Amino acid sequence: MKRTVILVHGLWYGSLSLKLLSRRLENQELDCHRFSYPTIRRSIGASSRALYRFAAGLQADTLDLVGHSLGGLVILRMLDEYSALPPGRVVLLGAPVTGSAVARRMADWPIARGLIGRSGGILKAGFAHAPSNRPTGVIAGTRGMGLGRAIEHLERPHDGTVSVRETRLPGASDRIDLPVSHTGLVLSRQVADHVATYLKTGQF
């Protein structure tokens, strides 16, 4: 029986950004569904409720969740509030669980504040609460290519938007750092292979 997987995109990306990752995971016998949500005009609470309704509607026996950047924070918030979901695993891709220095800098600029909108609060603060009953793996990028470098001086190593330190989640069962950029986390075949391995085995 195929494992059911929900993919959740990050700020500004949209579900189309996950199409390649979804196809690669499906080629490894995983049943993928892409969740879409408005990242700027919807609060983290509203997004987590919408994700829960989407997940519950799949009526799966097992349910894995993969979140890129902000999408990882939406997943963690949802699992913190709702427990009535099938068992499964979580993979976070470049999720700033301890808060994003880039988002904090943007929040200081009135001209840029609107670009992060209602997601600004969770991006600045993070959400470093690993699910208590759901194994969680973390993948961070170390190729420092991205817009974030022009906004804020990032601690090395980083993926161009999020530093490796910002992705460190207490309680995670496994983690791996890979030489990819923030966008590369959803485009890299190597990342897709590691995601599939973790979802199937619980380790990278």
Predicted TM-score (pTM) above 0.85: yes
What does the pLDDT look like over 128-140, one tens digit per residue? 999 988 999 999 9
Residue of 172, 197, 161, 175 whose CA lies nearest to 10: 161
| pLDDT over 90 (residue 74) | yes
Kindly state which CATH superfamily the domain 3-201 is placed in.
Alpha/Beta hydrolase fold, catalytic domain (3.40.50.1820)
State the average pLDDT over residues 109-132.
89
What does the pLDDT look like over 144-162, one tens digit per residue? 988 777 778 899 999 999 9
Rounded Cα distance between 8 and 17, Å, is 10
Rounded Cα distance between 16 and 9, Å, is 9
